[in-house]
Structure 1
């Protein structure tokens, strides 16, 4: 019991750990120091604390150990009730309690965690530090289990370090995501402000148009009122003229009556009259009265026939006025109709603008939801073989999609160099004939330049003489002739794997497309013939044979060689050849350099632009064919309808070329093609999408210009 007392006193004095000034500060400094300093400090602390906690190297197997010592529960070294607890310990010698080492470790852990909790910026990383120290004490004291415990600790520390590095790597991405989000929000706000401005302008314009319409309506109403007033005045003038006419007729009648009376009076007073014969006078009077009656009847007839007739001068004046008013009315109607149509067009434009705005907004939301940060391509310069200089050369002028191809080529080429053998693909029907082999095939590991030269030699031999065998069979026979039957299969697999990876290389990609049946040989041959013909035309234009042409001559040669190309396409070719809008037509161009190739078979931008335009023209031609047919891709097209659509979009096609295109679309030999108008034509159908895909394989292009559509 005395032994236990002394051990308790020594342990209590040793277990009084000095409190740290700030647990957070010590742990943060521990994290920021380098690894060697951390290990040195941890080793020093372990030596100090191990001497305090290890109990002289003797560990208690609690709770099974109960015979030799009794450990007081919840004791505090150097406390006032020490003697009482010692007494309790003597009274209960066989009571089971926690080992002293375990209790001191728990107290130490509790103090450390308490110190960490006192800090305001303590993190989970700092809270792990006391647990690390406790685990180190276990590792040092349990010598037997030290390797296993050390491996467990290293595994967890490695995983924590890995997770910490991942968190550090993701922090810039998080900041970049926040920046992109802010930029998108600013763009949305700018678009909304612009839309509000446009809507306000449209509203103002609408109000102006409404004001103009109201003004025109007011002018129309005023003109109508003026016309009504003029009609009323005309009626009044007409009545006035009628009354004047009647008064004039009455006055004339009165004047005639007075004249007749005066004549009668003068005759009666005349002395010579009495000498006349009364019978004769009676007859004269009778005849005169008959003439008066006839004249009166004619006068009544004239009144009845022309009583409502106005004077010609007044009629012409009123007619002219009416004509002017009618012209003004027609002009106002035309102006009103034009304004109404413009208003309808503006309303339609406004509705379409609203729809486009909604569509763009939904697309923006979808892009914001699905978009990912743009990759930092500069990270690849330290990974790609050759360093930053080679990566800069590979990435120059390429977009993200092309850079992905470059990375895939680099990765694929690295994997190819590591492979010593290729597994055979077997003898299945889907396997190309030149790859049918079972077993391992040696990887010859040629350089990229060697593969390009080998493919060029294959093309030269293929084009040198007419070959009746298929291109894959020719390719394998060429390898057998070049490397022998024993190595032909190895070279076939090696070249196939290389050309399948290097999509950016023209020679390899074109050879792969022809070899796998994606293009026919005529596509490659026709393109090479086009380039050769263009070089020949430029050479003919170079009268001095100096290898130089002016930009004007260059433009003329391009237009004469490619008469169907648009001005934009000709300008693209000139810019690819080195012409700039700021340069003059008198500048000289070394045209022979446009057709040169580097050691890996890459042509100049001019030839690449020719190839791109050829592919675009083919796609446009097939798109026009689809539009002319007016059918969906899953619908069936008949042979006569396809023939008619080809002749419509390209009237210059001859019969032989049309038959070639149709036989390719329907996969029929030209010898078995039915004649035009034959009943068999109607029974031949094919899915439109399948027909277009088959036409995409061959060399299909426009022969002549399309006839202009009649003006509506």
Structure 2
């Protein structure tokens, strides 16, 4: 038995270090090769152990002659229960000891369990391996029960073979989900197209209705004209008949006179001629009456060709009339719907009107800001300068800054805020720090130096830590005093651009990439204008300014470009050939306030970011309190901005879900129920970072 121990240990080591395929592997050849390797090792080990465990090639009939023996249970080798059982086995009398084969198997199992590394993730799988080996030994040694035990092993392998099918089922499920999402996108596109077609048809119906009304008015006018003409023609016909009768009578009288005056011309009997003339006149009268009757009866009859043409025209008009009737019915239905919407809108208007009246009744009167002229230092002139172009909310901030500035200058010391976790790292101090009382110009210059140093170095540490390191490097032991002084100043002067932006970045309310990108945009504009100024005189035309703005901001609307030009000094009545000192657009005063052109550029950036996030919210179709998944946000961003490149898209997703870019799942690999976040929180996080449109919505995605 002593010679068998090393071989058992080496076999256990080999079985534990055997590489198993990963959980998602479905390669049949790899499974077959792994199974053959295990079978060869088990067969070799079985040959070795069969020689060691069997006693003379015979199996002991135990426990047929002992009923008080216990079988080794699934216990930890180092547990108290296990040691207790081991002690009880040693105390058993020699007459009823276990068979040697069973003892060897139990000893082998204990050694294998002791050699296992239970600190890994696959602990249960490793603990199961020794039991598998013992089971294989039993299958080979107990020939009688080998078919039954082999069937158990066969069923276990069959279960393992079904695992690739499970992975394939998951893949098919993901493909089906992608197809469903694509079909939904197509349905949304078709719905939008149908809505557009509906609007076009509504416009066409309105146009047809207008044409119908004009045609009806024209038909009624033509009918009146036709009736008047008909009456006029009737009167003319009657007058003509009377005139013809008079003419015939006059002609007959003239003929009678001529015949009476020259009776010898004809050489016949005058009585006979008179009688013939009388009969001829009667025939003429009868013929004239028949002619008049025919004219009266068939005077209005039209030719068959004209009748058929009119009949065809009538048929076409009847079809148009039926079509217009059906359109009219649909328009009536829509009109009823619009009336209902109108009534609903009227109710809402009345409700809003009542709310407005209630608000006007309960609201406080508008303050008289002229009262501040005598209170603010500098008198009315300085107050007029401070209040120019500001609303009531901004005037309140200005007034608070003026009051706070005086109070801040009166303070000589600041109390320390302690070392709590909620306190920013650069303010963690217990005690009293000195107020350095710098001017606003000094604070602005110091903040500009911080930004310059930040842009020169690699941004490895967080911005608050870098800020305090900068103060320590410049002021040494007085760094904490300067930290408190600067913090109180930038917290107070919110109307100052440099201070407000620095405060937002320092407190984590805005990403520093926003400030950096804004400065890069301003520098790019100045560079483009300098390139246009070929003479290096500092002057460009308004037309050149418009061209530079359109090239730098290709996705800005025309009215936005107009606003920037007006902020730069262009007026609608001025000519495009007027010269502009473009360098004056980028000048800052001593307190860091920029010119109206740069301020308007920042305002448009904020408005465009809000519009972009609102468009994203509309595309998701969710409420602010609803949860949204990472795949849905990815799809919505690609829908509203197809030109987004992969790196920028992953940056937006990393900010929205607060995940490192290396941990973001690839497109198509993420699960629908995987990473979720509340939509309101995701939009707030995106509001903090630099997010902007990369292309038009109709543009194809860039490669």
Deviation at 1:638, TM superposition (A): 0.9
Deviation at 1:321, TM superposition (A): 5.2
Q: What residue in structure 2 maps to residue 197 of structure 1? A: none
Structure 1 length-normalised TM: 0.54
- How big is each residue's C-alpha offset from its partner over 1:118-155, in whole Å with a ceiling of 9 and x where there is no partner? xxxxxxxxxxxxxxxxxxxxxxxxxxxxxxxxxxxxxx
Q: What residue in structure 2 maps to residue 692 of structure 1? A: 683
Residue pairs, 1:14-93, within 5 angstroms? none
Q: What residue in structure 1 maps to residue 528 of structure 2? A: 537
Q: What residue in structure 2 maps to residue 460 of structure 1? A: 452
- Checking the alignment, whether the CA contact within 8 Å between 2:642 and 2:699 is kept in structure 1 is no
Deviation at 1:315, TM superposition (A): 10
Of the candidates 503, 509, 514, which is equivalent to residue 500 of structure 2?
509
Gaps spanning 5+ residues in structure 2: where? 1-208, 224-301
- Checking the alignment, whether the CA contact within 8 Å between 1:674 and 1:681 is kept in structure 2 is no
Residues 341, 350 of structure 1: alpha-carbon distance in 2 compared, 3 angstrom cutoff: farther
Partners of 1:646 and 1:509 in 2: CA distance: 30
- Checking the alignment, whether the CA contact within 8 Å between 1:640 and 1:682 is kept in structure 2 is no
Residue pairs, 1:90-109, within 5 angstroms? none
Of the two, which has the highest radius of gyration? 1
Partners of 1:417 and 1:378 in 2: CA distance: 25
Of the candidates 657, 661, 669, which is equivalent to residue 670 of structure 1?
661
Deviation at 1:682, TM superposition (A): 4.1
Partners of 2:371 and 2:303 in 1: CA distance: 98
Residue pairs, 1:173-252, within 5 angstroms? none
Residues 347, 687 of structure 1: alpha-carbon distance in 2 compared, 3 angstrom cutoff: closer
Q: Kindly report the root-mean-square deviation, in angstroms, between the aligned alpha carbons of the 2 structures.
A: 2.8
Partners of 1:339 and 1:680 in 2: CA distance: 51
Partners of 1:636 and 1:450 in 2: CA distance: 46
Q: Does residue 550 in structure 1 map to residue 526 in structure 2?
A: no
- Checking the alignment, whether the CA contact within 8 Å between 2:631 and 2:670 is kept in structure 1 is no
Aligned residues: 406
Counterpart secondary structure, 1:457: helix
Counterpart secondary structure, 1:407: helix
Partners of 2:542 and 2:391 in 1: CA distance: 30
Q: What residue in structure 2 maps to residue 421 of structure 1? A: 413
Counterpart secondary structure, 2:576: coil
- Checking the alignment, whether the CA contact within 8 Å between 1:674 and 1:680 is kept in structure 2 is no
Counterpart secondary structure, 1:375: coil
Counterpart secondary structure, 2:540: strand
Q: Does residue 583 in structure 1 map to residue 574 in structure 2?
A: yes
- Checking the alignment, whether the CA contact within 8 Å between 1:629 and 1:645 is kept in structure 2 is yes
Deviation at 1:396, TM superposition (A): 1.1
Deviation at 1:450, TM superposition (A): 0.7
Gaps spanning 5+ residues in structure 1: where? 1-207, 223-312
Q: Does residue 378 in structure 1 map to residue 367 in structure 2?
A: no
- Checking the alignment, whether the CA contact within 8 Å between 1:480 and 1:488 is kept in structure 2 is yes
Residues 584, 632 of structure 1: alpha-carbon distance in 2 compared, 3 angstrom cutoff: same
Deviation at 1:466, TM superposition (A): 1.4
Q: Does residue 480 in structure 1 map to residue 472 in structure 2?
A: yes
- Checking the alignment, whether the CA contact within 8 Å between 2:505 and 2:511 is kept in structure 1 is yes
Residue pairs, 1:75-474, within 5 angstroms? 322-336=311-325, 344-345=334-335, 347=339, 351=343, 354-355=346-347, 357-474=349-466
Deviation at 1:366, TM superposition (A): 2.6
Counterpart secondary structure, 2:677: strand
Deviation at 1:655, TM superposition (A): 1.0
Deviation at 1:437, TM superposition (A): 1.0
Partners of 1:463 and 1:565 in 2: CA distance: 28
- How big is each residue's C-alpha offset from its partner over 1:398-430, in whole Å with a ceiling of 9 and x where there is no partner? 111111110011111111111111111111111
Deviation at 1:439, TM superposition (A): 1.6
- Checking the alignment, whether the CA contact within 8 Å between 1:634 and 1:687 is kept in structure 2 is yes
Deviation at 1:604, TM superposition (A): 0.1
Q: What residue in structure 2 maps to residue 286 of structure 1? A: none
- Checking the alignment, whether the CA contact within 8 Å between 1:649 and 1:706 is kept in structure 2 is yes
Counterpart secondary structure, 2:534: coil
Deviation at 1:371, TM superposition (A): 2.2
Counterpart secondary structure, 2:628: strand
Q: What residue in structure 2 maps to residue 622 of structure 1? A: 613
Partners of 1:673 and 1:591 in 2: CA distance: 44
Residues 340, 584 of structure 1: alpha-carbon distance in 2 compared, 3 angstrom cutoff: farther
Deviation at 1:570, TM superposition (A): 0.2
Deviation at 1:317, TM superposition (A): 8.1
Deviation at 1:370, TM superposition (A): 2.7
Counterpart secondary structure, 2:575: coil
- Checking the alignment, whether the CA contact within 8 Å between 2:494 and 2:500 is kept in structure 1 is yes
Partners of 1:337 and 1:353 in 2: CA distance: 28
Structure 2 length-normalised TM: 0.55
Residues 359, 577 of structure 1: alpha-carbon distance in 2 compared, 3 angstrom cutoff: farther
- How big is each residue's C-alpha offset from its partner over 1:538-560, in whole Å with a ceiling of 9 and x where there is no partner? 00001111111111111001001
- How big is each residue's C-alpha offset from its partner over 1:484-515, in whole Å with a ceiling of 9 and x where there is no partner? 1x211111111001000111100000000100
Q: Does residue 656 in structure 1 map to residue 647 in structure 2?
A: yes
Deviation at 1:362, TM superposition (A): 2.0
Deviation at 1:676, TM superposition (A): 1.4
